[in-house]
């Protein structure tokens, strides 16, 4: 596949992107109405040619995760023979979804990731190492691999290896770009420095962070992001993707929001009633992947809370961007009328080096109010400072209980080392039957 970034619409004037988007959405609706049994029914009263502006788009039906997971086969838009790859979502917020791609969908994935790395300054001169799994039914690893190789970067599929081997391959292959999960990259840097590999003076210039947030709601680096930047003396880039969207949003060199590539995805952010919210206002990310053959979707409700930015980026691109993922929709916390995002709490807790481990526990207190408790493995003399900072950041009182690492781990449950938020509320959309253990 030849990578031609000049084909992307993102540098076009906003009005031109808008016109192309309307045309693409009409074609998309026509295609899914013809080819996907689910949409043949769901769109029987919709005429694609009527989609001439945003208000017409906003009348199209949403697709939710539950419908996709229970009627998966009905979404497939091609014959079985055309499907070449199957992945399965982790199911961290509900039933796992089996997602199938055609050869063209894999190329589309590669093009999107190549655009992401390209906009963050990666070139064919770079040497990249991927520190995430390329197997186990994940889409992310293969997407990064295809994207980097399409761009022409010399790419090594490292995966997750014992420390000595990680160190060996870093020394042997001298990568300039690394892709990984922030908490893993942080732990890796600490261990590498202990065994004589100086991460501050290595060849690494860019870290691409997946799966966990490295920015706060003001889009500034959070504690983890700052530590990574300092420990690797490298630029850190945030990227967000969902299997069902078959694209990722990634920061460019200006680092002020994750770029959508408009020829590949139409992005909306909506309120509880499904109405678009103004730029900068948090709401649910709703996305329509364009150009997908295998399992095309329309106005897919991701369940992730973020905000949209429509003005021109400092890099010159005019397509929409999104802010950091503030929470899963099911994890939004309501305390006496105030909405709080778990990310706000975990970002504040991460600021305290004195906290060795913690768990944020959310319970239902009343139908309209939740109860939040922080269990922190910390010395009692730091508790007042933590409580004050939590109050300043959330405008509500959140009790901090002094605990120890063993107790925090037992509260978290076996095998869930990275879990920082334990949501015990029942009956949420993503958690219809019991406690959720979604990672933030
Ligand atoms: Zn930009």
The pLDDT assigned to 95 comes to 79
- Average pLDDT taken over every residue of the chain: 91
Question: What is d(CA 77, CA 84) in angstroms, rounded to the nearest whole number?
Answer: 13
Ligand 1 centroid – CA 9 distance (Å): 13
pLDDT of residue 414 exceeding 90: no
pLDDT of residue 420 exceeding 50: yes
Residue-wise pLDDT for 292-316, tens only, equals: 999 999 999 999 999 999 999 999 9
- What does the block give as tokens for 116? 């992401």
The pLDDT assigned to 366 comes to 75
Coil, helix or strand at residue 91: coil
Question: What is d(CA 252, CA 429) in angstroms, rounded to the nearest whole number?
Answer: 33
The pLDDT assigned to 339 comes to 85
Specify whether the CB–CB gap between 336 and 366 falls below 8 A: no
* Backbone φ, ψ for residue 308 (5° rounding): -105, 150
Domains and CATH numbers, the chain: 1-325 (3.40.50.12780), 328-423 (3.30.300.30)
**Angle CA 4–302–8, to nearest 5:** 15
Ligand 1 centroid – CA 407 distance (Å): 44
pTM for this structure? Answer: 0.87
Residue-wise pLDDT for 38-61, tens only, equals: 999 999 999 999 999 999 999 999
Ligand 1 centroid – CA 117 distance (Å): 12
Ligand 1 centroid – CA 375 distance (Å): 39
Residue-wise pLDDT for 72-120, tens only, equals: 999 999 999 999 999 998 766 667 899 999 999 999 999 999 999 999 9
Sheet holding 247-251, edge to edge: 154-157, 127-130, 177-180, 206-209, 235-242, 247-251, 258-259, 321-322, 308-309
DSSP 313: P
pLDDT of residue 405 exceeding 80: yes
The pLDDT assigned to 1 comes to 75
Higher pLDDT, 158 or 429: 158
Least confident segment among 129-133, 216-220, 259-263, 336-340 = 336-340
pLDDT of residue 213 exceeding 90: no
The pLDDT assigned to 428 comes to 45
Cα separation values, 425 from 94, 282, 361, 362, 412, Å: 14, 22, 10, 7, 15
Ligand 1 centroid – CA 314 distance (Å): 6
pLDDT of residue 268 exceeding 90: yes
Find the mean pLDDT for residues 118-145.
94
Ligand 1 centroid – CA 312 distance (Å): 8
Given pLDDT bands bounded at 50, 70 and 90, which one contains residue 437?
very low
Question: What is d(CA 363, CA 375) in angstroms, rounded to the nearest whole number?
Answer: 13
The pLDDT assigned to 85 comes to 96
Ligand 1 centroid – CA 315 distance (Å): 4
Given pLDDT bands bounded at 50, 70 and 90, which one contains residue 439?
very low
Residue-wise pLDDT for 135-185, tens only, equals: 888 899 999 999 999 999 999 999 989 999 999 999 999 999 999 999 899
């Amino acid at each position: 596949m030849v990578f031609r970034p000049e084909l992307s619409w993102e540098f076009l004037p906003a009005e031109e992107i808008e016109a192309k988007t309307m045309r693409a959405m009409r074609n998309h609706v026509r295609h899914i109405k013809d080819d996907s049994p689910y949409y043949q029914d769901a769109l029987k009263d919709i005429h694609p040619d009527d989609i001439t502006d945003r208000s017409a788009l906003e009348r199209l039906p949403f697709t939710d995760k539950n419908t996709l997971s229970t009627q998966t086969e009905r979404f497939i838009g091609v014959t079985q023979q055309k499907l070449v790859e199957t992945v399965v979502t982790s199911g961290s917020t509900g039933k796992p979804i089996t997602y199938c791609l055609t050869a063209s969908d894999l190329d589309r994935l590669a093009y999107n990731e190549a655009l992401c790395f390209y906009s963050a300054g990666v070139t064919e001169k770079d040497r990249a190492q991927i520190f995430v799994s390329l197997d186990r039914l994940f889409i992310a690893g293969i997407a990064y691999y295809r994207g980097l190789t399409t761009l022409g970067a010399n790419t090594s599929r490292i995966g997750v290896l014992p420390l000595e081997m990680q160190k060996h391959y870093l020394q042997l292959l001298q990568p300039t770009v690394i892709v990984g999960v922030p908490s893993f990259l942080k732990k890796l840097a600490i261990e590498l420095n202990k065994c004589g590999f100086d991460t501050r003076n290595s060849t690494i210039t860019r870290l691409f962070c997946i799966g966990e947030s490295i920015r706060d709601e003001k889009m500034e680096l959070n504690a983890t992001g700052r530590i990574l930047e300092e420990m690797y003396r490298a630029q850190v880039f945030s990227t967000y993707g969902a299997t069902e969207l078959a694209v990722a949003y990634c920061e460019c060199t200006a680092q002020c929001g994750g770029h959508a590539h408009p020829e590949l995805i139409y992005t909306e952010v909506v309120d509880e009633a499904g109405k678009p919210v103004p730029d900068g206002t948090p709401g649910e990310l709703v996305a329509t992947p364009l150009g997908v053959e295998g399992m095309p979707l329309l106005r897919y409700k991701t369940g992730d809370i973020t905000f949209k930015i429509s003005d021109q980026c400092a890099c010159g691109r005019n397509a929409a961007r999104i802010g950091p993922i503030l929470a899963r929709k099911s994890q939004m916390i309501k305390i006496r009328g105030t909405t709080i995002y778990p990310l706000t709490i975990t970002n504040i807790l991460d600021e305290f080096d004195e906290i060795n481990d913690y768990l944020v526990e959310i319970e239902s207190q009343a139908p309209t109010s939740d109860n939040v408790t922080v269990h922190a493995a910390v010395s009692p003399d730091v508790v007042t400072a933590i409580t004050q900072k939590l109050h300043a950041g959330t405008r509500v009182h959140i009790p901090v209980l002094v605990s120890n690492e063993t107790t925090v781990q037992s509260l978290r449950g076996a095998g869930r080392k990275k879990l920082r938020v334990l949501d015990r509320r029942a009956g949420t959309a993503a958690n219809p039957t019991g406690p959720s253990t979604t990672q933030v």
